[in-house]
Amino acid sequence: MKTTALIEMGKDGTFGIYTPDIESTIIGEGATVEEAKADFENSVSEVLECYTETGKPLPEELRDVEFEYKYDLPSFLSYYKILNMSKFAEYAKINPSLMRQYKSGQYISAGQRKKIQTAIHKIGRELASVNLM
């Protein structure tokens, strides 16, 4: 089963990961996204090990579970500091001051979030096709 592992940045600048779509509580924390992912994956292993050691049946939601890491928008924009917000806003055809508000955590509509995600994926494809000499 594939489920979401949501990455969010806390007010203190650290990152947390949790599973909003399943009942089992699995979390990870760290100073960086990489540390939070490592902690999260360790938590997954510990939860599965606990079920094995106690002989309790593994909940269906944890059988063959795969996690898809997703960011909330403010965390993504804060983590990828390499993105210049004004230039990225221009690329995504969004008002730069509105983009800064999104980065600070202001509500974003599904349409605007999709527009930003489309621009991010387009940049990713363009970068992946670059060849340097």
CATH of the domain at 43: 3.30.160
Is pTM beyond 0.85 here?
A: no
Helix axes 85-92, 96-103, angle to 10 degrees: 120
Beta bridge partners of 2: 66
Domain that holds residue 46: 2-71
The number of domains in the chain is 2
Per-residue pLDDT tens, the chain, 133 aa: give them. 899 999 999 989 899 999 999 998 899 999 999 999 999 999 999 999 999 999 999 999 999 999 999 998 988 988 888 889 899 999 999 999 999 999 888 899 999 999 999 999 999 999 999 998 8
Together in a domain, 67 and 6: yes
